[in-house]
Amino acid sequence: MSELKPCPFCGKQVGKVTQHTHTFVKCEKCTAKGPHVSGAKLAREAWNTRAESSSEADAMASAALIARQDAELQRLRDAAQKVVTEIDQMPPSMAAGILCNEILELKSALQQGVGR
């Protein structure tokens, strides 16, 4: 069995040979697909002999990543604003407990690498 090259669009190291009506390799991260052929061996060969990633494809992948990160950042900002609004309306002792929980959740998110 031949080893699969990384995806030319997102760089993920491992693709998956998928069989439906035809067989093809599909990236498990960005869902890019190789040519539809008959058989797993041909699917691997077709994936590995595709054109190397171009600077245009690299730029598109980078732009897509930036867009996903921007969307995640906006989601986090909106969530933070909602929490601030809710806390402003609470008694101070209740707000302190909620802030502690929020800080722990943010710490966990940062440790897991938000946006990856």
CB 24 within 8 A of CB 36: yes
The pLDDT of residue 14 is 67
Long-range pairs for 104-112: beta carbons < 8 A, 24 or more residues apart: none
Q: Please give the full DSSP string across 25-61, using - where no structure is assigned.
A: EEETTT--B---BSSHHHHHHHHHTSPPPPHHHHHHH
Please name which of 18, 20, 36 lies closest in space to residue 28, comparing C-alpha atoms: 18
At 18, is the secondary structure helix, strand, or coil? strand
- pLDDT one-digit tens code per residue, 22-39: 888 888 888 888 888 888
Tens digit of pLDDT at every position of the chain (116 positions)? 468 888 888 887 767 787 877 888 888 888 888 888 888 888 888 888 865 556 666 777 777 888 888 889 899 899 889 878 888 888 888 888 878 888 888 888 888 875 44
